[in-house]
Structure 1
Amino acid sequence: MILDLAPWLENSRWQTVPISFLARQGTGHTPSRQHPEYWENCTIPWITLADVWQLRDGTRHTVTETKEKISLLGLAHSAAVVHPKGTVILSRTASVGFSGIMGADMATSQDFATWTCGPKLLPRFLLHALRAMAPDLKRLAAGSTHKTIYMPDIERLRIPVPALEEQRRIADFLDAETAHIDRLSALRSKQVELVGERASSLIAGRVEELASVNGWIRLKRGLRSIEQGWSPQCHDIEAGVDECAVLKTSAVSSGVFRGEQHKLLPPELEPDLRYLVRDGDLLMTRGSGSPRLVGVAAVADTKGRKLLLSDLLYRLRLHPGWSSTFVASVLASSPVRSRMRLLMRGQSGQTIKLRAEDIREISIPRLAVDDQSGWAKEVDRVRAEANALMRSLERSIELLEERRRAVVTAAVTGELDVTTAGRGSFV
């Protein structure tokens, strides 16, 4: 039942009906790649999952540009169709639940459901209703590899149906109200960025001061060994508390360890415990398409999870007395990162790597072993204060998003009377 999917629809002042009663439902297709002639003289805008980025944050309503186009010949030899401007789209595969409106006549891949609205349904009202339903749609998605909302479930989707003029008032109100909330959210995001930049600047100053007094030293002086991880075939889903998982590269990001960034090791595959990550291990990213994501280090805190080192990460074992937190802190600083980039191999857009022998040549500020932990604690204090403020700002962004969804659901169901509601009064 659709009310099981979106129980808030029960509160609608208006009757709910299947979208297909008010709009022509469709989808798309991909012309065969085995026929190069289908991909010549491509002129028809073709929406694919590569275009979903435009819709992810919900601030853009209309898709006017597509990464790819298809040809008239490809169209004629596939199940793809050209939908008219104003058609509403919903991503239903992999990136599930993102919606928008076609800004021109366009085709789509099979990863989208489409609705071309009839005279009793306003595309902008349908768009807001679908966006209110986005969290519910993600729960509906099924599949172990790529999450998908199957077409029979798409056909069951219902929306409230006020009179057309009421739909227009609701859409106008929500366009203005959500834009106001989005502006506030963007300001909060900018504050998060500025707090992070200030903390990085303070830490960079401490590193430069330390190096100016004590000079630089090669990291190999403190390194005992460098170990590369494992590369088993894993499921891209989160592991349970007692299940074994392999860390992703994103587990080491911006000098912070994120143990939740992992892939589930299949239960039939015996874990290689040589690669078991332990609390206090110093981990470093090995390669990426972006230099800023290469050579990033963090100290592991597994929180009791069974996590394995992947082949995309290194484990750096230090000599006794050397502080992993000190090394991770200085490796994250801009003065050390600028020196590190000179050692990276590869070009942007391709895989950029740091080899084990390159890591040994990284220069870090010299500091007596006995002083490393104290220095790292002071830097951690600066970073912790910044992180606490950033978390507070990020929570305010989450609350704004919750308010945004609440306003949209209340408006499309008629719980909120938009004719009397004041603009900007819901944040």
Structure 2
Amino acid sequence: MSEFHFLGSAQIPKGWELRRLKHVGTVLSGTGFPHDYQGNEDGEFPFLKVSDLSAPGSEKWVSYAANTVDREMAKELGASIVPENSIIYAKIGAALLLNKRRLLSRPSCIDNNMSAFVPKIVLPEWALWWMTILDFSEYVNPGAIPSFTEGQQKELPFLVPPLKTQRRIADYLDRETARIDALIAEKEKMLALLEEKRTALISSKVTRGLNPDAPMKPSGLDWLGDIPAHWGILPIKYVAQVGNGSTPAVDNPEYWGGGGLPWLNSSVVNDRYVAGAVRRVTPLALKECHLPIIEPPVVLMGITGQGKTRGKVTVLTFKATLNQHLAFIKPMKRILSAEYLRYVLVMAYPFLRSESESGGSTKGAITCDQIAGFRIPCPSIEEQYEIVGSIKEDEEKFTGLYKEVSSSLMLLKERRAALITAAVTGQLDPEEMAA
């Protein structure tokens, strides 16, 4: 792929030049920021980290950082004082691939995971918009930890129109992207409200049933509140079997492959239903590693880790086994519906997370004993089926609305990106931008 592929078949407008970053400004590298120097909020210069690129209110300009340094501290650290109107960005790691660029509104220092471009013969606002269309992933050193050397940064392509044109385009993009961003924010708010309403509706039906006039009683559980008077409250172990699995030795080929049983890991809880398995285990593994053979329908729960998977649940609809990071909950068929149980546990997710933390220190695990002893609302199996059916009807409606809003949101983001590219590559009519 050509490094100038963003131009497509278009011609560079007359009076524009295609140059390199090193020809239009300088690149400054950041400096290590030892912990002993951190925590000062009264220094003259903000000391910016990669996380500051994502701070609220820093979508274009950055002026605030959690840490500051004075001039003497900057000198001790060997830190360059990056002038205002410079463009800062991540130069290593996953943050580099996010392609976030920001303008400095005041002189600052940056840490050694960042670089700064100091414009010399181009307008800072133009430089920011131009660099917005550059996908750094196309220029960096590949590998487990992507990185971007100063030399590579200096060779980035840079399109330079006349100064008056730079100003016109920058002002135009400021206006137009602000308008589009307002529409994007509106759509994102709509999505959040839809999700909030969907969650509230599910919660109401799971905890109160479908009859709004049913007499209520206290459940005795803080996370649950009142429930219909005719419902029961039972520990899961009274209405389901609970257990977990293990991981056979990964270096033993006799345990893996073939047409064996699907073997599941905790990534499956990110979907409502388990779609499939990446790996399969042999009958020998099932026997020697004492793996459970799970018959559907079953609810699976992630039980370890600090990420979101701990406490999340999914429904398994095919025969499988699993590793030690998942628990299975096999409902008694005539007493508990797997679908209903999933909805209950989705609602209980925040409580399950907090219960797996002891006195504020994260244990990072939910035990099978905790799951077995966890008390849940138990209407009759017939009422469970009615509740599940009603919730699914509601979810179909919400899914349609969600897809509609998400589609319009995606189109707005695509329109924004296309507009920026067209403007900074000289494909828009100057009169249109002046209007």
TM-score grouping bracket, smaller chain normalisation: 0.7 to 0.9
User: C-alpha displacement at 1:258, in angstroms?
Assistant: 8.4
Match of 1:167 in 2: 166
In the alignment, is the contact (CA less than 8 A) between 1:339 and 1:363 conserved in 2? no
Q: CA 1:230–1:73 in structure 2 vs 1: closer, same or farther (change >3 Å)? A: farther
Q: CA 1:309–1:417 in structure 2 vs 1: closer, same or farther (change >3 Å)? A: farther
In the alignment, is the contact (CA less than 8 A) between 1:50 and 1:67 conserved in 2? no
User: C-alpha displacement at 1:107, in angstroms?
Assistant: 1.3
TM-score normalised by L of structure 1 = 0.76
Match of 2:313 in 1: 297
Can you list the C-alpha shifts for 1:149-174, whole angstroms capped at 9, x where unaligned? 33333122112211112111111111
User: C-alpha displacement at 1:215, in angstroms?
Assistant: 3.0
Q: Hey, what's the Cα distance between the residues in 2 that align with 1:307 and 1:147?
A: 36
Task: Say yes or no: does 1:390 pair with 2:402.
Answer: yes
SS of equivalent residue, structure 2 residue 432: coil
Match of 1:240 in 2: none
Task: Say yes or no: does 1:113 pair with 2:115.
Answer: yes
Greater alpha carbon shift after TM alignment, 63-72 vs 279-288: 279-288
User: C-alpha displacement at 1:5, in angstroms?
Assistant: 5.7
Match of 1:236 in 2: none
Structure 2 unpaired stretches of 5+? 210-226, 251-261, 280-284
Q: Hey, what's the Cα distance between the residues in 2 that align with 1:397 and 1:347?
A: 42
Match of 1:284 in 2: 301
Matches within 5 A, 1:343-382: 343-346=355-358, 350=362, 354-369=366-381, 372-373=384-385, 375-382=387-394
- Which of 226, 230, 238 in structure 2 is aligned with 1:221? 238
| 2:165 counterpart letter in structure 1 | E
- Which of 18, 21, 24 in structure 2 is aligned with 1:22? 24
Q: CA 1:307–1:315 in structure 2 vs 1: closer, same or farther (change >3 Å)? A: closer
| 2:393 counterpart letter in structure 1 | R
TM-score normalised by L of structure 2 = 0.75
Q: CA 1:102–1:281 in structure 2 vs 1: closer, same or farther (change >3 Å)? A: farther
| 2:126 counterpart letter in structure 1 | F
Aligned Cα RMSD in Å?
4.2
Match of 2:200 in 1: 201
| 1:376 counterpart letter in structure 2 | V
Task: Say yes or no: does 1:315 pair with 2:320.
Answer: no
In the alignment, is the contact (CA less than 8 A) between 1:28 and 1:79 conserved in 2? no
Q: Hey, what's the Cα distance between the residues in 1 that align with 2:193 and 2:395?
A: 13
In the alignment, is the contact (CA less than 8 A) between 2:266 and 2:302 conserved in 1? no
Q: Hey, what's the Cα distance between the residues in 2 that align with 1:349 and 1:393?
A: 40
Greater alpha carbon shift after TM alignment, 194-203 vs 171-180: 194-203
In the alignment, is the contact (CA less than 8 A) between 2:244 and 2:323 conserved in 1? no
Match of 2:51 in 1: 50
Q: Hey, what's the Cα distance between the residues in 2 that align with 1:232 and 1:86?
A: 56
Which structure would you say has the larger Rg?
2
Can you list the C-alpha shifts for 1:270-304, whole angstroms capped at 9, x where unaligned? 999959999855222436769x97533222589x9
SS of equivalent residue, structure 1 residue 52: helix
Q: Percent identity?
A: 19
Structure 1 unpaired stretches of 5+? 234-243, 265-269
Can you list the C-alpha shifts for 1:128-164, whole angstroms capped at 9, x where unaligned? 111122xx32344444332223333312211221111
SS of equivalent residue, structure 1 residue 252: helix
User: C-alpha displacement at 1:224, in angstroms?
Assistant: 0.9
- The size of the alignment, in residue pairs, is 393
Greater alpha carbon shift after TM alignment, 320-329 vs 124-133: 320-329
